[in-house]
Chains A and B, each alone.
Chain A
Amino acid sequence: MKFGIIVNEGPFTHQASDSAYRFAVATVEKGHRVIRVFFYYDGVNNGNKLSSPQADDRNLVKLWGELAAEHKVDLVVCVTAALRRGIKEEILADGFRISGLGQLIEMSLAADRTLVFGD
Protein backbone atom coordinates (compact mmCIF):
# COMPACT_ATOMS: atom_id res chain seq x y z
CA MET A 1 0.00 0.00 0.00
CA LYS A 2 1.01 3.60 -0.61
CA PHE A 3 0.90 5.99 2.33
CA GLY A 4 0.85 9.76 2.42
CA ILE A 5 1.73 11.48 5.68
CA ILE A 6 1.05 15.07 6.73
CA VAL A 7 3.04 16.56 9.61
CA ASN A 8 1.49 19.62 11.20
CA GLU A 9 4.06 20.43 13.86
CA GLY A 10 7.76 21.15 14.09
CA PRO A 11 10.32 18.90 15.74
CA PHE A 12 10.51 18.59 19.52
CA THR A 13 7.82 21.01 20.65
CA HIS A 14 5.11 18.45 19.93
CA GLN A 15 5.32 14.70 19.50
CA ALA A 16 3.74 14.86 16.04
CA SER A 17 6.99 14.66 14.09
CA ASP A 18 8.27 11.79 16.22
CA SER A 19 5.01 9.86 15.86
CA ALA A 20 4.95 10.47 12.12
CA TYR A 21 8.57 9.35 11.79
CA ARG A 22 8.07 6.16 13.84
CA PHE A 23 4.96 5.43 11.82
CA ALA A 24 6.83 5.97 8.55
CA VAL A 25 9.60 3.61 9.66
CA ALA A 26 7.08 0.94 10.67
CA THR A 27 5.35 1.38 7.32
CA VAL A 28 8.45 0.57 5.30
CA GLU A 29 9.39 -2.26 7.69
CA LYS A 30 6.03 -3.81 6.87
CA GLY A 31 6.80 -3.64 3.17
CA HIS A 32 4.61 -0.64 2.30
CA ARG A 33 5.66 2.62 0.68
CA VAL A 34 5.52 6.16 2.02
CA ILE A 35 5.15 8.12 -1.19
CA ARG A 36 5.38 11.58 0.35
CA VAL A 37 5.54 13.35 3.68
CA PHE A 38 4.03 16.81 3.47
CA PHE A 39 5.11 19.28 6.14
CA TYR A 40 2.47 21.95 6.78
CA TYR A 41 1.80 24.56 9.49
CA ASP A 42 4.78 24.52 11.89
CA GLY A 43 5.71 21.17 10.38
CA VAL A 44 7.88 23.11 7.94
CA ASN A 45 10.39 23.51 10.77
CA ASN A 46 11.29 19.84 10.36
CA GLY A 47 13.18 20.97 7.27
CA ASN A 48 15.46 23.42 9.08
CA LYS A 49 19.07 22.25 8.82
CA LEU A 50 20.08 24.62 11.63
CA SER A 51 18.25 22.48 14.20
CA SER A 52 20.85 21.37 16.76
CA PRO A 53 19.34 19.08 19.38
CA GLN A 54 21.38 17.75 22.29
CA ALA A 55 23.88 15.12 21.25
CA ASP A 56 22.28 12.33 23.29
CA ASP A 57 18.84 12.91 21.85
CA ARG A 58 17.31 12.09 18.47
CA ASN A 59 17.93 14.48 15.58
CA LEU A 60 14.57 14.52 13.80
CA VAL A 61 15.69 16.69 10.90
CA LYS A 62 18.49 14.23 10.11
CA LEU A 63 16.27 11.19 10.71
CA TRP A 64 13.74 12.43 8.16
CA GLY A 65 16.51 13.12 5.64
CA GLU A 66 17.97 9.63 6.13
CA LEU A 67 14.55 8.02 5.73
CA ALA A 68 14.06 9.97 2.52
CA ALA A 69 17.41 8.88 1.12
CA GLU A 70 17.09 5.23 2.13
CA HIS A 71 13.48 4.69 1.06
CA LYS A 72 12.97 7.32 -1.62
CA VAL A 73 10.42 9.25 0.41
CA ASP A 74 9.54 12.66 -1.05
CA LEU A 75 9.74 15.22 1.78
CA VAL A 76 7.87 18.37 0.86
CA VAL A 77 7.78 21.57 2.87
CA CYS A 78 4.82 23.82 2.04
CA VAL A 79 6.03 27.07 0.48
CA THR A 80 3.35 29.36 1.97
CA ALA A 81 3.73 27.94 5.47
CA ALA A 82 7.52 28.01 5.08
CA LEU A 83 7.65 31.66 4.04
CA ARG A 84 5.59 32.65 7.08
CA ARG A 85 8.04 30.83 9.34
CA GLY A 86 11.28 31.84 7.65
CA ILE A 87 12.15 28.45 6.20
CA LYS A 88 13.98 29.13 2.94
CA GLU A 89 16.14 27.17 0.50
CA GLU A 90 19.35 28.34 2.10
CA ILE A 91 18.51 26.63 5.40
CA LEU A 92 16.67 23.63 3.98
CA ALA A 93 17.97 20.31 5.29
CA ASP A 94 19.08 17.41 3.06
CA GLY A 95 16.25 15.40 1.64
CA PHE A 96 13.64 18.15 1.77
CA ARG A 97 12.25 20.32 -1.03
CA ILE A 98 9.93 23.31 -0.90
CA SER A 99 6.78 23.19 -2.99
CA GLY A 100 3.14 24.20 -3.16
CA LEU A 101 0.13 23.13 -1.15
CA GLY A 102 -1.19 21.31 -4.21
CA GLN A 103 1.40 18.62 -3.51
CA LEU A 104 -0.59 17.71 -0.38
CA ILE A 105 -3.81 17.19 -2.34
CA GLU A 106 -1.95 15.32 -5.08
CA MET A 107 -0.35 13.07 -2.47
CA SER A 108 -3.79 12.27 -1.02
CA LEU A 109 -5.06 11.35 -4.47
CA ALA A 110 -2.12 9.06 -5.20
CA ALA A 111 -1.93 7.38 -1.77
CA ASP A 112 -4.11 4.51 -0.60
CA ARG A 113 -4.09 5.98 2.89
CA THR A 114 -3.43 9.52 4.08
CA LEU A 115 -2.87 10.38 7.69
CA VAL A 116 -2.21 13.50 9.68
CA PHE A 117 0.06 13.91 12.70
CA GLY A 118 -0.43 17.13 14.62
CA ASP A 119 -1.17 18.77 17.91
Chain B
Amino acid sequence: MMLHTVNKSPFERNALESCLRLAASGASVLLIEDGVIAALAGTPAGDRIAERAGDLKFYALGPDIDARGLGDRPLIDGVEIVDYGGFVDLVVAHDAVNTWL
Protein backbone atom coordinates (compact mmCIF):
# COMPACT_ATOMS: atom_id res chain seq x y z
CA MET B 1 0.00 0.00 0.00
CA MET B 2 1.19 3.46 -0.88
CA LEU B 3 1.62 6.43 1.44
CA HIS B 4 0.79 9.61 -0.47
CA THR B 5 2.00 12.95 0.85
CA VAL B 6 0.55 16.31 -0.19
CA ASN B 7 2.49 19.43 0.75
CA LYS B 8 0.52 22.21 -0.95
CA SER B 9 -2.73 23.90 -0.02
CA PRO B 10 -5.77 22.89 -2.11
CA PHE B 11 -6.37 26.60 -2.65
CA GLU B 12 -2.93 26.95 -4.27
CA ARG B 13 -2.39 23.77 -6.28
CA ASN B 14 -4.22 20.81 -7.70
CA ALA B 15 -1.88 18.34 -5.99
CA LEU B 16 -4.52 17.12 -3.50
CA GLU B 17 -7.14 16.85 -6.24
CA SER B 18 -4.84 14.76 -8.43
CA CYS B 19 -3.77 12.67 -5.45
CA LEU B 20 -7.39 11.90 -4.56
CA ARG B 21 -8.14 11.02 -8.18
CA LEU B 22 -5.26 8.55 -8.38
CA ALA B 23 -4.75 7.11 -4.89
CA ALA B 24 -5.75 3.45 -4.87
CA SER B 25 -8.17 2.10 -2.25
CA GLY B 26 -6.52 1.22 1.01
CA ALA B 27 -3.76 3.82 0.67
CA SER B 28 -3.02 6.58 3.15
CA VAL B 29 -2.70 10.31 2.53
CA LEU B 30 -0.52 12.45 4.80
CA LEU B 31 -0.93 16.23 4.62
CA ILE B 32 2.29 18.10 5.37
CA GLU B 33 3.55 21.69 5.10
CA ASP B 34 0.89 23.90 3.46
CA GLY B 35 -1.04 20.74 2.64
CA VAL B 36 -2.45 20.72 6.21
CA ILE B 37 -4.76 23.54 5.13
CA ALA B 38 -6.87 20.84 3.47
CA ALA B 39 -7.65 19.50 6.93
CA LEU B 40 -9.65 22.60 7.88
CA ALA B 41 -13.35 21.99 8.31
CA GLY B 42 -15.78 23.77 6.01
CA THR B 43 -13.72 24.13 2.85
CA PRO B 44 -14.30 22.54 -0.59
CA ALA B 45 -11.28 20.28 -0.06
CA GLY B 46 -13.11 18.76 2.87
CA ASP B 47 -15.78 17.49 0.50
CA ARG B 48 -13.12 15.92 -1.75
CA ILE B 49 -11.57 14.22 1.26
CA ALA B 50 -14.95 13.06 2.56
CA GLU B 51 -15.64 11.36 -0.79
CA ARG B 52 -12.62 9.13 -0.23
CA ALA B 53 -12.86 8.83 3.58
CA GLY B 54 -14.36 5.38 3.17
CA ASP B 55 -11.38 3.86 1.42
CA LEU B 56 -8.38 6.06 2.23
CA LYS B 57 -6.86 6.91 5.62
CA PHE B 58 -6.03 10.56 6.17
CA TYR B 59 -3.34 12.05 8.38
CA ALA B 60 -1.97 15.54 8.97
CA LEU B 61 1.39 16.56 10.40
CA GLY B 62 0.84 18.25 13.77
CA PRO B 63 3.90 20.52 13.72
CA ASP B 64 2.74 22.00 10.40
CA ILE B 65 -0.78 22.58 11.79
CA ASP B 66 0.65 24.29 14.87
CA ALA B 67 3.08 26.43 12.88
CA ARG B 68 0.22 27.85 10.83
CA GLY B 69 -1.87 28.62 13.91
CA LEU B 70 -4.51 26.07 12.91
CA GLY B 71 -4.46 24.08 16.13
CA ASP B 72 -7.45 26.03 17.43
CA ARG B 73 -9.53 25.58 14.25
CA PRO B 74 -12.05 22.81 13.70
CA LEU B 75 -10.63 20.11 11.47
CA ILE B 76 -12.54 17.71 9.24
CA ASP B 77 -13.53 14.37 10.66
CA GLY B 78 -11.31 11.41 10.19
CA VAL B 79 -7.94 13.14 9.88
CA GLU B 80 -5.48 11.76 12.40
CA ILE B 81 -2.80 14.17 13.62
CA VAL B 82 0.72 12.71 13.76
CA ASP B 83 4.11 14.11 14.65
CA TYR B 84 7.37 13.47 12.78
CA GLY B 85 7.79 10.18 14.62
CA GLY B 86 4.35 9.20 13.39
CA PHE B 87 5.38 10.26 9.87
CA VAL B 88 8.31 7.85 10.07
CA ASP B 89 6.03 5.08 11.35
CA LEU B 90 3.66 5.68 8.44
CA VAL B 91 6.48 5.37 5.93
CA VAL B 92 7.61 2.12 7.53
CA ALA B 93 4.07 0.74 7.53
CA HIS B 94 3.54 1.40 3.81
CA ASP B 95 5.38 -0.11 0.86
CA ALA B 96 6.41 3.14 -0.80
CA VAL B 97 5.87 6.89 -0.68
CA ASN B 98 4.32 9.01 -3.44
CA THR B 99 5.08 12.70 -2.96
CA TRP B 100 2.53 15.02 -4.60
CA LEU B 101 4.12 18.43 -5.11
Residues of A within 8 Å of B89, CB to CB, are 30
> How many B residues touch A, CB cutoff 8 Å?
18
- How far does the Cβ of B80 sit from chain A's closest Cβ, in whole Å? 17
A-B contact pairs, 30 of them (CB 8 A): A1-B92, A3-B91, A8-B101, A15-B7, A15-B34, A19-B7, A19-B32, A22-B63, A23-B84, A23-B88, A25-B84, A26-B84, A26-B87, A27-B88, A30-B85, A30-B88, A30-B89, A32-B92, A113-B97, A114-B96, A115-B5, A115-B91, A116-B99, A116-B101, A117-B7, A118-B7, A118-B99, A118-B101, A119-B7, A119-B101
B interface list, Cβ under 8 A from A: 5, 7, 32-34, 63, 83-85, 87-89, 91-92, 96-97, 99, 101
> B84 near A32 (CB under 8 angstroms)?
no
> A115 near B84 (CB under 8 angstroms)?
no
Contact A113 to B84, CB < 8 A, known contacts A19-B7, A22-B63, A118-B101: no
Residues of A within 8 Å of B88, CB to CB, are 23, 26-27, 30, 32
Residues of B within 8 Å of A30, CB to CB, are 85, 88-89
Counted as pairs of residues, one from A and one from B, with CB atoms less than 8 Å apart, the total is 48
- How far does the Cβ of B76 sit from chain A's closest Cβ, in whole Å? 22
How many A residues touch the partner, as a band? 20 to 34
> A114 near B33 (CB under 8 angstroms)?
no
> A115 near B97 (CB under 8 angstroms)?
yes
Complex Cα spacing A26 to B96, Å: 18
- How far does the Cβ of B48 sit from chain A's closest Cβ, in whole Å? 22
A93-119 with Cβ < 8 A to chain B? 113-119
Complex: chain A residue closest to B96, CB-CB: A113
